[in-house]
Amino acid sequence: MLNVWRKGLITPVASGGNVTFAPADSGLPKMIYICSNDASNHAGTPWTLVNKPVEIFPPIPYGSIQKIVRTSAVAEVPQITTIGLDTAETILASTRYKISGYNTLRRYEGSNTLPISISYTSPAVLSGTPQTDMINVYTVLVNKMNARVGKTWTAYLMLKVAFTTGSSVGDLVKNLTIGETLTQATSLATAKVAGVVISTGTFYGDNAAGFLYLYNVNANWSATSYVSTGGTSAAVVTTAAIPVVQGMTIVDDAGYYAPFPSTRKGINAWKLENGFTSAVVNTGESTATTFARVVGANGVYPIGTAAEILAKIGVFNIDRTDTVSGSAEMVLNAFPVTGRTYTRYNIYVNTLPPVQRVADIQGAGGMIYTLWVDDNGGTNLAAFETALTAVTGVTII
């Protein structure tokens, strides 16, 4: 099994000088060094006392690396789920409406946490107005979801409003971006975009018309014919009505990779159970070239951003008996620079003697070296990879 996990961070130098080696000598194998300094001055040259390496990891025997896996940095994108976007639910009397959610990455005491369920039973006598009854059911469900202790989401009522003259400024975009903030001219009221359905025209042609689905709508939103502009896409739309409740939107909280696995958040799977007959769950953004429908944003885990790495690094109290923040298992040789991103390299090493090694990296004595490399250097990152491949003889995947 993999029983050791070491971690380090470097800024790559020109010509791949962070990677060097000591040649085989007196029966010892060639040893590979990954350094925080320029230890060789150019790739493929063994280190000398003049260019002594500042080692990040212990020397790695040549031939013991089984694979090197690269993961490029990505920013976090909260997942947005809509319920009832396509069809408004018709509420029935004395009916239990139930929503269940599950996060497969959230664990407690060594086991996956159980699904959570939120439900509400409609009254025996309805109001007589379908819209009012639907608002009542979704309002209770939203309030119950947001009242959950330890929740990893925020729920909102989702509203629908018609739009016209949708256009993309400078043709830089061809639709609104899910999750972005719309700001209404004059009133300066704001709302978040949960979905867009285009009935006619296109944003590219400056003649799109259809329906917006909004959440977290400011109370000052006006029914007057105002132009609203997207804060991310800069796309503009004109609306001339008060949005009406259509369903609900569930937004996963940020912080998918909390310092400890048991507190991981986000990426919840939702399903409708009892009661619902028309509404459906929509998650995932459409990539259709017609741009006729864009619903929900896919959640993405943060990898390699300075903030994400800093959140994991263990910060200890003064006598180092406990961690103040982060994880005691996450200790690096240096701190990442705020605002930068880092490419991650997982180097899988088999520490068994050569005669006992097998292809299966899960065998006893395995080790993972995780190296975060500042990727803002551009050409230096490419030089680092070239040197790493050349010295180790392993192709990065």
pLDDT in tens, 120-166: 999 999 999 999 999 999 999 999 999 998 788 999 999 999 999 89
- The predicted pLDDT at position 354 comes to 61
Specify whether the CB–CB gap between 393 and 365 falls below 8 A: no
Residue 313 per-residue DSSP state: B
CA within 13 Å, CB half, 382? 2
Mean pLDDT of the residues in the chain: 86
Query: Averaged over 165-187, what is the pLDDT?
Result: 86
- The predicted pLDDT at position 3 comes to 55
Instruction: Characterise 244 by phi-psi region: left (phi > 0), alpha (psi -120 to 50), beta (else).
Output: beta
Instruction: Band the pLDDT of 42: cuts 50, 70, 90.
Output: low
Specify whether the CB–CB gap between 362 and 386 falls below 8 A: no
Query: Averaged over 35-41, what is the pLDDT?
Result: 81
Paired tokens of 230: 């997207």
- The predicted pLDDT at position 172 comes to 73
Say how far apart CA 102 and CA 116 lie, in whole Å: 7
pLDDT in tens, 317-331: 887 777 777 777 788
Specify whether the CB–CB gap between 173 and 294 falls below 8 A: no
The SS3 assignment for 275 reads: coil
Query: Averaged over 267-272, what is the pLDDT?
Result: 90
| Lowest-confidence segment of 61-75, 185-199, 248-262 by average pLDDT | 248-262
Q: List C-alpha distances in Å: 188 to 212, 236, 267.
A: 18, 14, 32
CA geometry: angle at 254 spanning 234 and 236, to 5°?
Answer: 10
Count Cβ atoms within 10 A of the Cβ of residue 7 and give its class: 0-12 exposed, 13-18 middle, 19 or more buried. Answer: buried
| Biggest distance spanned by C-alpha atoms of the chain | 91
Specify whether the CB–CB gap between 101 and 116 falls below 8 A: yes
Q: What is the pTM of this model?
A: 0.77
The residue whose two tokens read 């190296």 is 371
pLDDT at 111 over 70: no
pLDDT in tens, 303-353: 899 988 888 888 888 877 777 777 777 888 999 999 899 999 999 998 776
Closest CA to 256 of 64, 380, 78, 90: 78
pLDDT at 265 over 90: no
